[in-house]
Structure formats: structure tokens, C-alpha cells
Amino acid sequence: MGIINLTPDSFSGDGLMSGKDPEKEAINQALQFVREGADILDLGAESSRPGAEPISAKEEIRRLIPALEAILKEKLDVVISVDTYKNQVAEKALQAGADWINDIWGLRFDPRMASIVFKYNSPVVIMHNGRKLEQDREVPEKENQKDIVLRVKGGLQESIQITQKANIPPSNMILDPGIGFGKTVDENLELINRLDEIRAMGYPLLIGPSRKSFIGAVLNLPSDQRLEGTAAATAISITRGADIIRVHDVEAIARVTKICDAILR
């Protein structure tokens, strides 16, 4: 999964909204990612980095839809995923022709998101987010676990219950443990090493280690120098059962995944 950031403030410095022609840049990046081996393109129009300023659904749609429609016109042989947690944005994207929704709040932020996913029969990536929701008065008991894997499993189970109430079929669900979202460096490392325990929940597994701060902490490197760290985290993740790797550096990581698959699968 190649990341297309339609933002001006991405943590990794690759936000396309700071350029002169975001739509053209989005098309060029999409074409490049497909040439380099991407199977999925993940378009996001709001930065999820810590401390980022939230934007309205209207602004997110303004950034997202023109680029999404431009990429869809290229008729690329890839899945188009949209990274959003707002039901209005998800509906506009699915109406425009997006294939998947990738929700960093695991359907917990917006009460209407699950019904939109069900309405359009869309596959959905359900991510565990360790940050506290503003509307949460108290942290659910399952989220109080000191063991990071039990905590993530408990949080994901809460999201799975939301999908069940909304009648979203299990075949449309993909889990993401949420590397970097409300987790310490040590917790991120342990989570990757124990990914097989998340995979044992019985759903396809996506992981996004790309250029994350835990890599920077271990290697003492800025975000634009974390390729080798991302490659190492990717290889370990695949050995532990990851099915989808969400990355910025598609060409290099596609090569890593091919070798891992050749050995393991």
C-alpha cells in the first residue's frame, strides 16, 4: 500500500498540498507507485501526526475528491483506499469510486461511519488508536491492560463489535494494530514482534511502520532517513503474519516484500 498524502503538513514531508498542482502531483505519484509495485493506493487528506490541526469534513473533501477523481480516470489496476474517519468524507469518496475506507479510529470516532461502510459494502481497515477520543469519558476496561498486545486486541475487539452491530461482513474487515498511535517506542517494537497474536484474531492484517518515530528513536535518524529501519520492520512484520504493508517508499519495500514472500509463502 503506497501512501499518497494530500496534506500540507505530513510528518514525513511528502504532503502534496504544499505543491503548485496537487492533482497532477497526485497522479504522478500514483503512476510512480504502480510502476514500483504498489497493489493499493491510500489517499489521505488530513494529517494524523501527533499535534496536527484537525480539519473539517468540508476541507477534507475539498482536498481529497479532485485528486481521487483524477487518479480514478487513469484506470490503474490497483485498489484505491481512502484514509478518513469522517462519514461525510467516506461517503463522497465511495460515491466517487474509491474501493476501501481506512479508518484510523477503528469506526469509534464517528458513530455513522459503520453505516456508510455497510451501505456501500466497502472493505474497511480498522485501526487500533491508543490516543484518547475527546468524547470518551473513561477508558474502556479492555484498554487498561498493561500488556500492549492485550490492549490492542481489546481495542480492536471493541471495533469489531461495532462492525457486527452494523452488519458489516467479516470478509470486508482488515485489522491494523496502529503502530505509532498512542504507543511508546518499546510498545511499538513489542507489538511488531508479537504481530502473530493479532493475526490469530482471524482477519487480514495491515501494518504501517513506514518512517515512524520508533524507528527514529532506535536509529537516531530524522524521518527522511528511516528507509532501512522501515525495511527491517517490514520484514519482521511479514514473518509475523502481516498481509499488507503501508509505506511511503514503495519501490524499496516492494522488493523487501517479494523476497519475504519468496522465502515464507
Q: What phi and psi, each to the nearest 5 degrees, are found at residue 103?
A: -105, 110
How many angstroms separate the first and last alpha carbons of the chain? 19
Residues with a catalytic annotation lie at: 212, 246
DSSP 8-state class, residue 53? P
- Residue closest to 197 by CA, chosen among 163, 135, 161, 147: 147
Burial pattern 38-73, b for ≥16 Cβ within 10 A else e, equals bbbbbbbbbbbeeeeeebebeebbebbbebbeebee
Residue 248 Ramachandran class (φ > 0 left, ψ -120 to 50 alpha, else beta)? alpha
